[in-house]
Amino acid sequence: MGIVIRQSFRSTLITYAGAALGAMTVVWLFPKVLTPEQIGLTRLLLETSVIFAFFAQLGTANAVVRYFPYFKDNSGRHQGIIIYAAFVPFIGFLLVTAVYFIFRTAISSYFEKQSALFVTYLFFLLPLTFFNVYLSVAEALSSTFLRIVIPRLIREVGIRVMMILITVFFSVFGFDFTTYLYLYVGVYGIALLVNTFYLLKQIKKPFQWILPADIPKNTWKEMGSFLVFMILAGLGSTLVTKIDIIMISGMLGLSFTGIYSIAFFMAAAIEMPARSVVQITSPILSEHIKQEEWNQVEKLYKQVTLNQFIVGGFLFLLLWINIDNIFEIIPKGHIYSQGKYVVLFVGLAKLFDVITGINLSIIAYSKYFRFSLFLVVFLLVLTIITNKLFIPLWGISGAAFATALSVFLNNLAALIIVYLKSRIHPFSVNNLKTLLLVVVCIVAGYLIPAFSNPWVDLIIRSGILGAIYFFGVLGLNLSDDISRAFQSLFHIRVR
């Protein structure tokens, strides 16, 4: 776990540097410079491109992580898997391009009433899709070499710094919004170039081809089966997480999409550390599953889940007790405060996601990966139905509730599948103690007197509850990893 801890720690620091930049960009700069409709458009373009990109990958990112142990060799060429990882997504992108032109009229007709601006700029979708395809593949390849820090730096910091620059230029120089969108898409192109150069430095012989006949037929057969299921299951899973943006845009309009996006971003901060941990642990998890070392899988399962819960619970606590202060501080907060309960529902969904740990990864990298397909088809149908039901009733809060319900059922089902098939689960008494600590701190937050100045209130409230939570974690010795890190950093023995 040494390299996992080092890479995860560095990646988490980068993630939070990115989160700070993201907060500055999404929560302060975008509302100040862009209209809610313009924010909604950029978010809809990005989320739609992510859906297209997942399909275009044809399962490559997941396959690279799962099957790299089968292809890895000492020569540095890794039996040509690098070339296949570059070639297969390109075929997928050509297929997506064909689908785009076939269904362009249908896509336009769905959005033209409430989100006509999206139809006007629909042509940006394909280049943004291409960049997102290969960004994901490059990051997956880097993770197989246990090198996620630089790719994370590019995604979390580099992209956001460039977004800040183009948005400031847009505000200062006053060029038209179309030019801004060209620059917006170009940011992802630059990120892809930098990521690609870094990846090539990690591979000794990246351009050596190997004939398919040189790989055992059983491996290809298994990979083919895996890819079919992962494409279908992964596409459904991606749709589950993105369908809210699409349906809000189609049913309510881009302005509501912009408001929803700001609130969603706030809640998404809860899972940021978890993303780094999952990315670096995935190759190790895949190796343990391949060797059928289920004791090691369970150990990793419990360790990752507990640490993610402690960190995620703290972030949820700080976010929710300060939510009114945040909306008072951000530009045009009276408009974006409509997303208050979006923050609550999505925040709870993200918290449950980190509580359940790496269950979905265990299913994906094990012989039970076929369950992913059946599970996600049910969830996709459920998500569409619940959004259809709750958006007309509660607007963007209804979309957030539908998302939370889908995430909850998805992870609950995954927990059950992992336990029934492998007899392992991620929970311990310390998980329950962590939950109680979070609840106690939230209750205490409501007992602290309010201050009229939102900045003063935020700082004092966060300081008091942060201290209670921090010393609660150490005093209850909830995590050996966190206690050891504290002792190592401050040379103070906790117990």
Q: Which two tokens stand for residue 432?
A: 């329950």
Angstrom CA distances, 267 to 13, 51, 312, 340, 433, stand at: 18, 21, 10, 10, 23
Distance CA 134, CA 132 (A): 6
Do residues 92 and 62 lie in contact, with contact meaning Cβ atoms separated by under 8 Å? no
Counting Cα atoms < 13 Å in the Cβ hemisphere of 150 gives 18
Report which of 240, 249, 263, 26 is spatially closest to residue 118, judged by C-alpha positions.
249
Write down the residue that tokens 């032109």 correspond to. Answer: 101
Q: Are 265 and 31 in contact (CB under 8 A)?
A: no
pLDDT at 78: 46
Q: How many CA atoms lie within 13 A of 145 on its CB side?
A: 22
pLDDT given for residue 428 in this prediction: 86
What is the residue whose two structure tokens read 């090539």? 200
- Measured between alpha carbons, how far is 317 from 307 in angstroms, rounded to an integer? 16
Token reading at 235:
């596409």
Question: Distance (Å, rounded) from C-alpha 493 to C-alpha 495?
Answer: 6
* Residue 7 CB contacts under 8 Å (≥ 6 apart), including other chains: 146, 147, 148, 149, 280
Amino acid residing at 5: I
pLDDT tens, 181-201? 999 999 999 999 998 888 777
Q: Report the b/e string of 193-226 with b at 16+ CB within 10 A.
A: eebbebbeebbeebeeeeeeeebeeeeeeebeeb
| Phi-psi sector, 332: left (phi>0), alpha (psi -120 to 50), beta | left
- Are the beta carbons of 139 and 151 closer than 8 angstroms? yes
* H-only helix segments in 252-322: 254-268, 272-290, 294-321
Q: Rounded to a whole number, what is the distance in angstroms from the first to the last CA of the chain?
A: 23
Tokens matching residue 470: 């921090």
Report the pLDDT value the prediction gives residue 72, as an integer from 0 to 100: 59
Residue 76: its pLDDT value, please? Answer: 47
Please state, in angstroms and rounded to a whole number, the distance separating the CA atoms of residues 390 and 66: 38
pTM for the structure as a whole = 0.82
Round to whole Å and give the CA distance between 392 and 159: 35
Rounded-to-integer distance, Cα 312 and Cα 270, Å = 5
Q: Hunting for tokens 């009276």 — which residue is that?
A: 334
At 357, list the tokens: 């740990």
Residue indicated by tokens 């369908």:
243
Predicted pLDDT at 81 = 66
Q: Can you list the residues of the chain whose pLDDT is less than 70?
A: 1-12, 15, 65-81, 145-147, 204-224, 226, 229-230, 232-237, 276, 279-280, 357, 488-495
User: What's the DSSP call for residue 25?
Assistant: I
- For residue 45, CA distances in Å to 144, 369, 393 come to 30, 30, 26
